[in-house]
Amino acid sequence: MKKRALVAALICVFAAGCAQQTTDNTPIPTMGTTLATPAETDAEPTDTESESVTEEVTEPVQETIAEETPAETEPETEPVTTAAPEAEITSISNENIETVTEPVLAQAWTETAMSATMYVKQTDNNTGTVYARERAVIGATPIATYHDGDKVEVVAITDTNYYKLSTGAFIHTDYLTSSPVGKKKKVVTTAEEELIDDGDTAETTVTKKKKTTSADDGSEVVWEKDENAGSTDGKTKKKSTAAQSTVKSDGTVITLGNYTVDYSKRYAYKQLSETEQLFYQDIVNAVMSFNGGVGYRDGITEESALKVYITVLNAEPELFWMSGSGVMAMSSSMIFQFKETDPQKIAEMQKEIDTAAASILKNVKAKKSTINKIKTIYDKIIDINDFTLDGEGYNISIYNGLHGTKKGQLQCAGYAKTVQYLCDMAGVESMVIIGTTEFGSHAWNIVNVDGKYYNFDCTWGDPINSWDHKYIQYEFFLVPDSWIHGITHLNINNFVRNDGTKLHLFDPPACTQYAANYFYLSGIDLHFDNKADADKALKAQVDKAIANGSYVCEVLVTDKAVYDAMMSDAYWKELQKYARSKSSKVDKIKRQASYTKGVQVVHYDIVYK
């Protein structure tokens, strides 16, 4: 007997959420894990809270732990402040996998609501006719017949592997696909002619409709509606750009800004097999048309479908209405949900994104070097956003990162996707990487700086501290793998399920350089191999901070023994005594004691009275 596993996949969130609901209020299975409170530093808890995530996949938070003032005579416990706390979850638990024996004529079935336009396809050596049945079980009475390429409207999927049509009849999932099935069509544009093979021999000609707009830099941008969106035979692949426009049910096109990125050029996309690349295209097309169901191509399994979906979710930041919750990978198809399904509403949100992005990109494009372009993006995202443990709404998307009406509330995936979106617009290669910390899941970026790859963690540049002051940190600004892998950033590009099993997405490019790191290129000599020079430089920063009323004093050391000595209680008390001697306005010195052991940045903050 054939069996199928029903998997509800939560992909990429930061905090607690609730189970998604179908239109008939039947809960779609979701998953979550309660994260333990981060380990205490000197007996005081961090600000990271214990969270149970049940809506999307969470991302690991960086904790910048700044510690309380040391006693002058005896060390006291150190309250922790958190820089970029993240409580997250990235997993699929075995408890969420339901195995159903299929099919039994007499058994009842349950339905999960969905909305999708699908197409009839023939499989194996059948007779050319597909039957729609009265009930969702094999052997049920046929009540209608369909043929290859017929379009149907799907309103639900059953746990017996049938799609329910808007007519009330049922067709087995083996015989429907989300992509059009038809004849070979010749697609003609003004610039080129492209042949798309979808499995037949006849030819027709279809012309792409075009709409021309003007980009910020004055260049012409052409938005295309392709009436033959995607082949289904698994042989010929249509080269396409990612979200340029979305199509309403009446066929009209809503333009989604000036974002023009060919996803076939993405590093993540290139790591997929050819079949997975085709399925990647299917998912992008489905999201663009608000189609909540995608049938598998030959060679796609539940595991590979989930892998591709997570990759699209992370690699295509422009699809900000895409959801990581309520995703179900089944034996022959996948269904998913959206945060918003009205294209006009999406277009209005896109205008907000465009306005905020244009303001930032104007400054980015004025910079000559790649490093300065990246730093401008980094500084601005941190300035206009705050970290949150809340995984609701658009907190893991570019909408909260760029909508510009108020301070955005973001989790780490929101920071990472906003970085990628702006880097894409600025012509800088970037990708979102997921993993975990000791406290939960996390997301950050890898960026290409003049042909060399670096890790780039914007979330951990946005601190949360006990005295609630805003500043920017650079501990994880362009760092090599050796400074973070297996130290602060774990399970590199693995989606970790609740049961501990891992789904590896792809191998990211190796980051082996540190020449572009902030502490090497800041214009100030901030890296040292001995304590005497590091101590002198750090105290000079204390003097400068007090004079300017600023807060952050930090240096990078290249020797672990020097790092340990300068982060010790004895040195902490010494530095506080020094700072207080310089100004009566100094209340205390706080020490950042977490997440710096790999990068070996000695970080102290001045707190004023």
Domains of the chain listed by start with CATH number: 523-609 (3.30.1370)
Answer with the residue of higher pLDDT: 497 or 239.
Answer: 497
Residue 414 reports pLDDT greater than 80 = yes
* Better pLDDT: 418 or 406: 418
pTM above 0.85, yes or no: no
- Determine what percent of the chain is predicted with pLDDT higher than 70: 68
What average pLDDT score do residues 311-319 get? 96
Of residues 99 and 509, the one with the higher pLDDT is 509
Residue 25 contacts by C-beta under 8 Å, 6 or more apart in sequence? none
Residue 56 and residue 31 in contact, taking contact as beta carbons nearer than 8 Å: no
- Residue 523 above 90 pLDDT? no
Question: Which pLDDT does position 500 carry in this prediction?
Answer: 86
Kindly tell me if the per-residue pLDDT of 22 is higher than 70: no
The pLDDT of residue 213: 33
Q: What's the pLDDT tens digit per position in 367-390?
A: 999 999 999 999 999 999 999 887
Answer yes or no: is pLDDT of 81 > 70.
no
Q: Residue 128 has what pLDDT?
A: 64
pLDDT at residue 477 is higher than 80: yes
Q: How confident is the model at residue 452 (pLDDT cuts 50, 70, 90)?
A: very high
Please determine, for residue 211, whether its predicted confidence score (pLDDT) is greater than 80. Answer: no
- Do β-strands 552-557 and 527-528 pair in parallel, antiparallel, or remain unpaired? parallel
pLDDT of residue 140: 80
Query: With 70 as the cut, is the pLDDT of residue 98 above it?
Result: no
63 pLDDT higher than 70? no
Mean pLDDT value across residues 469-484: 93
Judged by average pLDDT, the poorest of 197-211, 245-259, 394-408 is: 197-211
541-560 pLDDT, tens digit per residue, is 999 999 999 999 999 999 99
| Average pLDDT for the chain | 74
pLDDT class of 84 with cuts at 50, 70, 90: very low
What DSSP string describes 537-582?
Answer: HHHHHHHHHHHHT--EEEEEES-HHHHHHHTSHHHHHHHHHHHHHH
242 or 53, which is more confident: 242
The number of beta carbons lying within 10 Å of the beta carbon of residue 22 is 17
Which residues, at least 6 apart from 96, have a Cβ–Cβ distance to it below 8 Å?
7, 8, 29, 30, 31, 498
Cβ-proximal residues to 15 (8 Å cutoff; 6+ apart), any chain: 51, 53, 58, 87, 88, 388, 389, 390, 391, 392, 395, 411
Is residue 332 predicted with pLDDT exceeding 70? yes
Q: What is the pLDDT of residue 132?
A: 87
